[in-house]
Amino acid sequence: MTKYTFTEKKDTRSGFGEGLLEVGKKNDKVVALCADLTGSLKMNAFQKEFPERFFQVGIAEANMMGLAAGMTIGGKIPFTGTFANFSTGRVYDQIRQSIAYSEKNVKICASHAGLTLGEDGATHQILEDMGMMKMLPNMTVINPCDFNQTKAATIAIAEHHGPVYLRFGRPSVPIFTPENEKFEIGKAIKFIEGSDVSIFATGHLLWHAIEAEAILREKGISAEIINIHTIKPLDVKAIIDSVGKTGCAVSAEEHQINGGLGDSIAQALCRNLPAPLEVIGVNDQFGESGKPMDLLDKYGLGTDNIVAAAEKVMSRKQLQKI
Amino acid sequence: MVSQPEINELNSIASQVRRDIVRMVHAVQSGHPGGSLGCTDFFVALYFKILRLNPSFNMDGINEDIFFLSNGHISPVWYSVLARKGYFDVAELATFRKINSRLQGHPATEEGLPGIRVASGSLGQGLSVAVGAAQSKKLNHDEHLVFVLTGDGELQEGQAWEAIMYAAHHKVDNIIATVDYNGQQIDGAVDNVMSLKDLKAKWIAFGWEVIESNGNDLEDIINKLEHAKTLTGQGKPVVNLMRTEMGNGVDFMMGSHKWHGIAPNDEQLASALDQLEETLGDY
């Protein structure tokens, strides 16, 4: 069995920055737009290398979405960059009409998502973005788990035709996925094989799920760890195959439980293979200022919470059998 | 300069387009005739005289001028002019706003109607899209222009001013925006609902080259748009503040906001058609 460890921590937004530079070198149709957060989004390298293909928009996100939609006409592949809050809620109607409904090949790249934004607090800690984006027809929604996967996802979405929402974050987190692994949109990745409970994790919480697996193993519980990096389209087959074997599931995401990955998995299970599910996420609350990992613990998204959810859902499985 | 025979020909197209508009809106008892009639002369001038167009529609619009309609609710005039220009069969105008039609209430790309490059209707977004398309043309070293029409009431949307600020800052000088300056919006006169005050001074202050035209005089529109073309490529975006009369061409619809979004009844249709000569054959 592969044992996941890490030697280095890095922020996922830097993975985006490196990926963007790489696609910029590969494809001269790639252009980038940023709303006064070039450093925060790690878009400086692209800006320096391709100044003629980088567009500073100022603090005007609605305009940025419209500009990006317009730039696709003539064949450009625009990547927009700002915080996740300003990439979604602030510009929902612009994305809905000018990008999603109009089927424009825009890549909406969103940093500082979720509680792990940390000290800036709830005004900036968007926890509803994946829900909003997954509801839009034509939209693909991706939430990678570490630096390497974010870089690979950035490269992959440039080759995918259609609107994409790519969500990543601010804090340094363990790098544990292989370097230069090809990213397949819509294809879940099985990290650890198990037989007692399926744990489906996305984004930063995948590492916590891997930590939880080790604790569960000590307790004699065999957890299967699956990374759902693509929230939409959801890899329903991977979910059904795993739960068909384990009989119960936990989902884990740095997002509201209303409208997030857990909801999508619940729907997939209800329609295909009803089974007990515990959902790890923020429960209908706004966040607050604090250190990223402290916030995950306070809001019930830490490693221990995943362990407890796995044990709880397994007990429900046994009840169901009775 | 445009010749008198040309003006006569364009006026005859405009008469047919106005017939199409009132018949389309009457047929489904919904749609927006007022602004459509007010902008008929502009659309006819644009598509039959001003735009340099490729023979067939291509989404990317490479090596041709492209046009965006931001105030998408005046779709009837756009659909009629696109059909009369040959983008699709005029018979399809009969499907306007009906189920399974490519002629959606507000313009859309999903059904693949030739001539439409972005959905519009939720106001304030078209200027941004047009400015982006203009920058795309620059990156492609395409010398052709981007045209966009926005309503005046629509300029109450903040996003419009984000786009206006951006275009001047980035020297997007291959765009000609036109404002349908009819002074009316759904709830009444723009001046009463939310005054734009000195609109010309605002555009100038934001760094645009401003021209003014009479949108219900074909000769003036053509001359002004030709002049606008000569102002492009000089580091500043260009805007045409175009005075129009809502409902122009149908006496009982003229000069009021009341026909913004309602359809004529049978009697009103007959009265409207009596005022508009059938020049190219009804669809």
Per-block mean pLDDT, blocks of 10 residues, chain A (322 long): 84 98 98 98 98 98 98 98 98 98 98 97 97 98 98 98 98 95 97 98 98 98 98 98 98 98 98 97 98 98 98 86 56
Residues of chain A with Cβ-Cβ distance to B128 below 8 Å are 62-67, 69-70, 94, 98
How far does the CA of residue B108 sit from the closest CA of chain A (Å)? 7
Among chain B residues, the shortest Cα distance to A64 is held by B128
Q: Which helix (H) or strand (E) holds A230?
A: strand A230-232
Alpha carbon B258 to its chain centroid, in Å, reads 20
Query: Do A156 and A267 fall into the same domain?
Result: no
Is A107 found in the same domain as A82? yes
Q: Distances from the Cα of B114 to the Cαs of A153, B56, B117, in angstroms? A: 34, 9, 8
**Please, are residues A183 and A156 in contact by the beta-carbon 8 Å criterion?**
yes
Residues 61-100 on B with a CB inside 8 Å of A are 61-62, 66, 68
- Which one of the listed residues A18, A22, A61, A278 is annotated catalytic? A61
- The one-character DSSP state at A84 is H
Q: Does residue A245 fall inside a structural domain?
A: yes
Fold of B4-274: Rossmann fold (3.40.50)
Choose the mutation target among B57, B69, B110, B136 for the interface with A, i.e. most A CBs under 10 Å: B136
Asked if residue A180 belongs to a domain, the reply is no
Asked if B118 lies within 8 A of A69 by C-beta distance, the reply is yes
Domain edges within chain B: 4-274
A103/B110 CB distance under 8 A: yes
Pairing of strands A230-232, A140-142: antiparallel
Chain A residue nearest residue B107, CA to CA: A102
The DSSP result for A1-29, as a single string, is ------S-EEEHHHHHHHHHHHHHHH-TT
Cis ω on the peptide bond leading into residue A233 (within 30° of 0)? yes
Note whether A164 and A238 are same-domain residues.
Answer: no
- What's the one-letter identity of residue A227? N
**Is A182 inside a domain boundary?**
no
CB contact under 8 A, A67 and B60: no
Cα–Cα dist A249/A317, whole Å: 9
pLDDT exceeds 90 at position B152: yes
Whole-angstrom Cα distance, residue B176 to residue B168? 12
Tell me the nearest-neighbour CA distance from A150 into chain B, angstroms.
27
Q: What contacts B87, CB < 8 A, 6 or more positions away? A: B57, B114, B115
- Amino acid at site A88: T
Which strand (E) or helix (H) includes residue A55?
A: strand A54-56
- From the list B122, B241, B108, B96, the residue with the least C-alpha distance to B183 is B241
Question: Do A57 and A18 reside in the same domain of the chain?
Answer: yes
Phi-psi region of A247 (alpha: psi -120 to 50; beta: other; left: phi over 0): left
Q: Is B162 on the interface with A (CB under 8 A)?
A: yes
- Which member of A53, A69, A97 has the closest CB to residue B132? A69
B140 touches chain A (CB under 8 A): yes
Are A26 and A97 within one domain? yes
Domain range for A278 is 189-321
Asked if the C-beta of B163 comes within 8 angstroms of chain A's C-beta atoms, the answer is yes
Last residue of a domain, one of A113, A148, A174: A174
pLDDT of residue A321: 59
Tokens of A259: 């409208």
CATH code, domain carrying A204: 3.40.50.920
Nearest to A258 by CA among A139, A91, A138, A132: A132
Domain-located, residue A118? yes
pLDDT tens for residues B169-210?
A: 999 999 999 999 999 999 999 999 999 999 999 999 999 999
Residue in A closest to B137 by C-alpha: A74
Contact residues for A304 (Cβ-Cβ < 8 A; gap 6+): A212, A215, A297
Same-domain check for residues A90 and A14? yes
CA–CA distance, A236 with A228 (Å, rounded to integer): 10
Q: Taking a C-beta distance cutoff of 8 angstroms, is the pair B233, B174 a contact?
A: yes
A170 and A194 in a common domain: no
**Chain A residue with the nearest C-alpha to that of B66:** A73
Residues across chain A: 322
- Parallel/antiparallel/unpaired status of strands A77-83 and A30-34: parallel
The whole-angstrom distance between B157's CA and the closest CA on chain A is: 11
Best of B131, B141, B162, B165 to disrupt the A interface (most A CBs within 10 Å) is B162
DSSP states along chain B: ---HHHHHHHHHHHHHHHHHHHHHHHHHT-S-HHHHHHTHHHHHHIIIII----SS--TT-TTS-EEEESSGGGHHHHHHHHHHHTSS-GGGGGGTTSTT-SS-SS--STT--TT--S---STT-HHHHHHHHHHHHHHTT----EEEEEESGGGGSHHHHHHHHHHHHTT--SEEEEEEE--EETTEEHHHHH---SHHHHHHHTT-EEEEEETT-HHHHHHHHHHHHHHTTSSS-EEEEEE--TTTTSGGGTT-GGGSS----HHHHHHHHHTS---S---
Tell me the shortest Cα–Cα distance from B191 to chain A, in angstroms: 26
The CATH number of residue A38's host domain is: 3.40.50.970
- Which residues have C-beta within 8 Å of that of residue A246, sequence separation ≥ 6? A194, A195, A196, A197, A198, A224
Cα separation, B224 vs B215, in Å, equals 10
Asked if A69 lies within 8 A of B131 by C-beta distance, the reply is: no
On whether both A31 and A135 belong to a single domain, the answer is yes
Per-residue pLDDT band for B257 (boundaries 50, 70, 90) equals confident
Residues A138 and A225 in one domain: no
CB A19 within 8 A of CB A30: no
Q: What are phi and psi of A214, to 5 degrees?
A: -65, -40
Count up the domains in chain A and report the number.
2
Q: Are residues A161 and A282 in the same domain?
A: no
- Looking at A149, A174, A199, the residue that finishes a domain is A174
A61 noted as active-site residue = yes
Side-chain-facing half-sphere of A205: CA atoms under 13 Å: 35
Residue B3 has pLDDT above 70, yes or no: yes
According to the model, what pLDDT value does residue A322 have?
A: 54
Residues forming beta bridges with residue A110, ordered by sequence position: A82, A167
The CA distances from residue A194 to A83, A277, B94, B240, in Å, are 36, 16, 61, 67
Tell whether A83 and A193 lie within a shared domain: no
B57 to chain A nearest CA, in Å?
13
Q: What is the mean pLDDT of residues B132-157?
A: 98
A132 and A107 share one domain: yes
pLDDT tens across B24-80, in order? 999 999 999 999 999 999 999 999 999 999 999 999 999 999 999 999 999 999 999
CB contact under 8 A, A67 and B129: yes
Q: Please identify, among A174, A204, A220, the residue that sits at the C-terminal boundary of a domain.
A: A174
Measured from the Cβ of residue A13, the count of other Cβ atoms closer than 10 Å reads 24
Closest of B147, B155, B235 to residue B195, by C-alpha: B155
Alpha helix (H) ranges present in A160-260? Answer: 205-218, 236-246
- For residue A156, tell me if it sits in a domain: yes
CB contacts < 8 A (A, B)? 121
Q: Quick count: other Cβ atoms within 10 Å of Cβ B95?
A: 17
Q: Is the pLDDT of residue B225 over 80?
A: yes
Q: How many CA atoms lie within 13 A of B172 on its CB side?
A: 31
